[in-house]
Structure 1
Amino acid sequence: MTVLNEYLLSQHHISEQELGTQLSKLHSYQCLTLGKSPFDSGMVCLRLWKLWQHVRPNNFSRLHIIATAKEPLSQQQIQEVLAEHPEYDDLAQQLLAQYPPAISGIHRLIYPSERLTVDLCFGDAVDDLMVGQPPIINPEPVKSESLSFAVIGAGIAGLSIADAFTRRGYAITLIEQDEPLAGASGNPKALLLSKLPKLERVSNNLQTLGALSTARWWSYWAPNVVTHSGALLEASAEDLEKIKNYPDDMVQLLQPEDVQTRMELITPHAQMFMPRAIVINPKAIRDHVLSSAQVTLVKQHVAALHKSPDNHWLLLDSNGVCIAKKTHVIIANAKDSERLCPTLPPLTVIRGQMSWIESNSSSDFALGYGGYAVNDGEKLILGSSFMRDDMDLTLREGEHQSNLELFKQAFPKNAATLPHTHSWQGRVSLRALPRDSMPIVGEVSQMQGIYALTGLGSKGFSFAPLCAELLAAQIFEEALPLPTTLILALSAHRFIKKERIRKPYYTPPQDN
């Protein structure tokens, strides 16, 4: 009896041969989910992966493994264990390439060319798994020919949705009134860096989980998206208390002299070095997504949505001409989402101005403070202003100066070497936020078949890929990549007040 066969019989009451037969008979668009597999050293995942490679049919079917570890091993520990099994070296290297830090949370690993998804549920996230969930979920095949999808908006939200759906084999019509990345997602670089929450709260912190997901996926999926890894974040006394129990591959404390030695930066303050923070090139994501034969880009303005008698949605231009007819429409066009979907929560517009100048430093770096700075050897990029309810797209000298002042407060000696702001260049974009600053993800109220991924604010590159994966999982009824409490916090219905049924006041009987 093989090790895998023994495991499957003891944990899932199915033999290796029976599971292999089920996998080999999967239809296109069907996903077999193997739930609650103890992760331990990772060898169970690798053996299941090897079985999948041997029996998988040549179609759009997928395997989804959910593995759990209440006390997860670090990447170094996993690497040492896997080194003892050289016969799995190729798969082990792929597993390690996406292996997350050993902190609580649902960490989704996605291998598109393998048609494989692995959810590593660490720490507190193990408790959030559905009680009584069957170990093997093998849904009925989806009739893909009856489903059709359009996405309105080609910023990072729309591109992430297109990517999530095409990885599942579905075609997407991506509709953009301007050019892809014309809005807030179109800055030269994006820095994914955030303050860490208390460790016991990290499994429900969307920004941390989202930034880790974006870094993990895009580092693996495309070689030219991530342009720099690691960033400094100014440390307050509160931050120093929060990071005490985090692993070193999440955060390290650097003293000012260490910062100067490593990055040619002079600061009077201690800094947190975040190894998993990244700088990404948005255009590389755009090019990767649009290169898919499953994505059709249509440059049109969608003026209205109408439901047809055959239960499809008609996407109409300003003259009432039909641009597309689809069963499902996903709205991903920031503030303009409200115009198409009046039942969505209201969004506030935030103006942000980024500044850049020619770099005077040969050292690449990424910094977070009251603002942020990215130096790529060619440009020093500083950002970004935050002007609520301001829709003016004109560059302002005053906001260049504000960006400089924030940099000066954190790194005064480096700021003193920069030229006057008269010579600076920049870009203005508008972001949209709901009142609780959390994205809106899910089906729109009173509009069956219309979904939204919007309200990402300035954190689109941290939020969008993971939220798009959540939206796809909801639509196709798959295992979800986030805990229940966080999913409810993102719901498009979360601001709808429940109608209270008022009890009638007591009326005493009247004397005759």
Structure 2
Amino acid sequence: MPLLPAPLTFRNGVPYSETYADVYHSQAGAVAQCRAVFLTGNGLPERWRGRESFQILETGFGLGLNFLTTWHECRRLGSTAPRLHFISLEHAPLSSADLTLALSGYPELAQESRHLLSAWPPLTQGIHRLHFDAGRVTLYLVLGDMADLLPQLTLAADAVYLDGFSPRTNPIPWSEPVLRQVARLCRHGATLATWCVAGHLRRTLEHHGFHTTRAPGFGTKRERLSACYDRIPEDAWCKIVQRLEQPALQFTLEPPPQRHALVIGAGLAGCLVSAALGERGWHIELCESRNEPAQEASGNPAGILRPFPSLDDNRAARLARAGFLTTLHWLANLKGKTEVLPHGLNGVLRIAQDAPEAAHLFALSRAPGSVEALLHWLPRAEAERLGHCAAPWGALFYPTAGWLDPGQFCRAALAQTPHLSTHWGQPVTLQPGPAGWEARTLCGALLAQAPIAILAGGAHPLPLSNAPLWPRQRLRGQITQIERSPVPMGTPVLCGSGYVIPDAPGGPCLGATYDRSADIAPRSADRAENLQRLTALGWDDGPEHSVVQERVAFRSVSRDRLPIIGPVPGAKGLFALTALGSRGLVWAPLGADLLCAWLEGDPLPLEKDLVQAVAPARYR
């Protein structure tokens, strides 16, 4: 089902929901209500002191006022505040325009509101991570049906804000299945607070392991409810978690005591996971067989960055959408830290080749998960005007997509990575050792060791004597660069049977071929195939298009075309970030963030079914 924004109305000056016939907060004031009910009810901010990280789960985002108030209180603590992870679910979020109007009435939260509004995501289902205060505060905005999405989350909440409209008109947030999942997502000793004191709520919370306590209420409420998740003894609770949960939660509860990792491979995957972990204080040993980063497929002069929708919004489409938005965040984060990061987000036009494909692309623009901010259909005249090309059947336009220089992306990420030790020109083998994992040279000399190792070697064979039998293919691709662009600067990337990146560094980039050959030298037939893409767009492929560079690289592609990301079964401390295929710019930042969250004990940025879809364990 598509995600429908909630209409915003007001009653007596207070935001009001016509759908649930209830106000968004007490007439006595939203900020005061949050402080009295949720902060005080969870013992905050006192419980933050001395904590490095703190996770809060909220069952109704609404206007975001509980998040904004909590963030405001966190800011008041300054450097003594923990890293805050705020996970909030919302079935009917407000549009950006309505949220701007609603938040204008809370001047005490103006600074936080401005940052939230500037980061407000396209309203698509799933987990949207919004980062603030240089990553010290992260909002996990979980959009969609609460009953469906709560079982998909992986986190260990230290506190719960049980919020929502009245149980009479909106019973789902107060239902037994939801409260059971809330308990599942709590760390032992977690607290819970809510303004609701209904008898069925207290009994259900008690049944699922909470001790409940009534306290003086706020506004017109005589009482509020506080609870602690400690009825089950901690040792028994740990055994239950170990028996019932996926391995993901084990790392969430007990991250590695040493922040030290070996990363094998310095393409997009290896460089970005090094940067993600390095930013969190990890010491990284980066091993690469070539003499500098991004020398394989990540060394192409430009690559395309766009989502890959499907008619049914399947797992691959959801992963690609999450990856696309994650890469945009990485670019925004690096923008103020580096002067050299060539990219152009002028859009991508996927041009229909015939009437059936036009019908398919038009249907994609109306499919679940497709919103106009991410993609929309353009008829022939608009497509041809925007792309300066022939598009007789129209095109699908991705307005915030574009191209990126992957090699410079790698270098910019490594330049911002503290605690980095690089080992260039060193092919290695990986084996278990007393310290966890050892990287040894081909002569057997110990090069580096760490408790955690990450396989990020792209199309290279896995450097293990007993390597897992993942069904990967090594596929060849050849790109061609020409001297002169046939279209003006700033023209969107054009895709059809292949692609043309008009603004690529060094000249327009045409590509890419796809075959199983092992030939490392450029081939004239592949050049002709790439130049033919100009003819398909209505441009002459004559001799004036002189070729200035051709490049061959190899991609690692899994059998199901999804990346391989996560812990390697049966090998403690070994993780993988590989098989990115031709979508490294989409998969690599997302994979880096996923592994970093896994190893840091943060909430995972993907739903469980997506984590399982990319996990190495799917090939057991």
Query: What TM-score does the superposition give when structure 2 sets the normalisation length?
Result: 0.72
Q: Match of 2:600?
A: 476
The offset of 1:6, in angstroms, is 2.3
Distance 1:66 1:229, change over 3 A: farther
Q: What SS does the aligned partner of 1:229 have?
A: coil
Distance 1:339 1:172, change over 3 A: closer
Contact 2:289 2:428 survives alignment (8 Å) = no
2:511 maps to what in 1? Answer: 383
AA partner of residue 93 (structure 2): P
Native 8 Å contact 1:314 1:323 kept in 2 = yes
Where does residue 432 of structure 1 map in the other structure?
556
Per-residue CA deviations over 1:29-73 (Å, capped at 9, x if unaligned) read xx21111352222333222222222214359x5111112111223
Supply the AA of the counterpart residue of 2:410.
Answer: R
Alignment identity in percent? 26
What amino acid maps onto 2:348 in structure 1? Answer: A
Report the Cα distance in structure 1 between the residues aligned to 2:99 and 2:463, rounded to whole angstroms.
50
Equivalences, count? 484
Question: Residues 113 and 346 from structure 1, CA distance in 2 versus in 1: closer, same or farther, beyond 3 angstroms?
Answer: same
Tell me the residue number matched to 1:228.
345
Which residue of the partner structure matches residue 487 of structure 1?
611
- TM-fit CA distance, 1:421: 6.4
- One-letter code of the match for 1:303? V
**Are the aligned partners of 2:308 and 2:317 in contact in 1 as well (CA < 8 Å)?**
no
Question: What does residue range 327-406 of structure 1 map to in structure 2 within 5 Å?
Answer: 327-340=451-464, 342-358=467-483, 359-364=485-490, 365-376=492-503, 379-388=507-516, 390-406=517-533
Separation in 1, partners of 2:350, 2:411: 30
Distance 1:304 1:297 in 2: 16
Residues 510 and 533, structure 2, Cα contact 8 Å, conserved in 1:
no
Partner SS for 1:305: strand
State the secondary structure of the residue aligned to 1:79.
helix
Correspondence list, 1:387-466, <5 A: 387-388=515-516, 390-409=517-536, 411-412=537-538, 415-416=539-540, 419=543, 423-466=547-590
Contact 2:475 2:514 in 1 (8 A): yes
- 1:182 maps to what in 2? 295
Partners of 1:279 and 1:90 in 2: CA distance? 33
Instruction: State the 1:300 CA deviation.
Output: 4.2
Q: Structure 1's 189 and 66: CA in aligned 2 closer, same or farther, altered over 3 A?
A: same
Alpha-carbon distance change, 125 to 332 in structure 1, aligned in 2, over 3 angstroms:
farther
Structure 1 residue 132 corresponds to structure 2 residue 182: yes
> Are the equivalent residues in 2 in contact too, given 1:215–1:278 (CA < 8 A)?
no
Residue of structure 1 equivalent to 2:142: 121
| C-alpha deviation, 1:134, in angstroms | 6.6
SS in 1 for 2:269: helix
Separation of aligned partners in 2, 1:230 and 1:95: 24
CA shift for structure 1 position 87: 4.8
Q: Distance in 2 between matches of 1:321 and 1:217?
A: 36
* Residue 65 (structure 2) pairs with residue 43 (structure 1): yes
Q: 1:203 to 1:305 in 2, by over 3 A?
A: closer
The change in CA–CA distance for 1:91 and 1:344 in structure 2 (over 3 A counts) is: farther
Q: Is the 8 A contact 2:130 2:139 kept in 1?
A: yes
Unpaired stretches in structure 2, ≥5 consecutive residues? 1-27, 152-180, 191-251, 353-357
- State how far apart, in whole Å, the 2-side matches of 1:111 and 1:355 are: 40
**Residue of structure 1 equivalent to 2:30:** 3
The residue type equivalent to 1:128 in the other structure is L
| Contact kept? 2:90, 2:145, Cα under 8 Å | no
Contact 2:481 2:547 in 1 (8 A): no
TM-score (ref. length: structure 1): 0.86
In structure 2, the CA distance between the partners of 1:306 and 1:217, relative to structure 1 (3 Å rule), is closer
Residues 455 and 141 of structure 1: is their aligned pair in 2 closer, same or farther, counting only changes over 3 Å? closer
Shift of 1:278: 2.7
Are positions 1:70 and 2:97 aligned together? no
Alignment check: 8 A CA contact 1:97 1:220 kept:
no
* Whole-angstrom CA distance in 2 between matches of 1:462 and 1:204: 11
Looking at structure 2, the residues matched to 166 and 5 of structure 1 have their Cα atoms a distance apart, in angstroms, of: 39
> How many angstroms apart in 1 are the aligned matches of 2:429 and 2:421?
20
How far 1:342 sits from its partner (Å)?
Answer: 0.8
Describe the shift of the 1:200–1:343 C-alpha distance in structure 2 as closer, same or farther (beyond 3 A): closer
Q: Give how far 1:203 is off.
A: 9.1
Deviates more, 1:43-52 or 1:158-167: 43-52
* 1-structure distance, mates of 2:542, 2:119: 38
For 1:233, the aligned partner's letter is R
Cα distance, 1:261 vs. partner?
3.0
- Answer yes or no: is 1:265 the counterpart of 2:389: yes
CA RMSD of aligned residues (A): 2.8
Matched, 1:20 2:45: yes
| Structure 2 CA distance for partners of 1:387 and 1:182, relative to 1, 3 Å | same
Once residues 271 and 175 of structure 1 are traced to their aligned partners in structure 2, the CA distance between those partners, rounded to angstroms, is: 43
Are 2:342 and 1:240 equivalent residues in the alignment? no
Is it true that 1:170 corresponds to 2:294 in the alignment?
no
| Residue in 2 that maps onto 1:509 | none
Contact 1:374–1:382 under 8 Å retained in 2:
yes
Take 1:299 and 1:272, find their aligned partners in 2: how far apart are those partners?
Answer: 42
**Alignment-derived partner of residue 305 in structure 1:** 430
Asked if 1:281 corresponds to 2:308, the answer is no
SS in 2 for 1:376: coil
Distance 1:93 1:140 in 2: 33
Contact kept? 2:500, 2:533, Cα under 8 Å? no
Deviates further, 299-308 or 131-140 = 131-140
Contact kept? 1:355, 1:427, Cα under 8 Å: yes
Contact 1:105–1:122 at 8 Å: present in 2 too?
yes
What is the identity, as a one-letter code, of the residue corresponding to 1:485?
Answer: D
Counterparts in 2 of 1:357 and 1:58: CA distance versus 1, 3 Å: farther
Contact 2:479 2:513 in 1 (8 A): yes
Structure 1 residue 424 displacement after superposition: 4.5
Shift of 1:333: 0.3
Assess if the C-alpha contact under 8 Å between 2:438 and 2:449 holds in 1: yes
**Superimposed CA distance per residue, residues 195-253 of structure 1 (whole angstroms, 9 cap, x where no aligned partner):** 42236547962112211221233234425464223211124212212322533212222
Matched with 2:23 is: none
Which amino acid letter does the alignment assign opposite residue 514 of structure 2? Answer: F
Query: In 1, Cα distance between the equivalents of 2:343 and 2:520?
Result: 28
Distance 1:248 1:418, change over 3 A: farther
Partner letter of residue 244 of structure 1? R
Partner amino acid, structure 2, of 1:230:
G
C-alpha deviation, 1:91, in angstroms: 3.2
Amino acid of the residue matched to residue 73 of structure 1? L
Q: Does 1:158 align with 2:270?
A: yes
| Cα 1:142/1:352, change in 2 over 3 Å | closer
Structure 1 residue runs of 5 or longer lacking an equivalent are 497-512
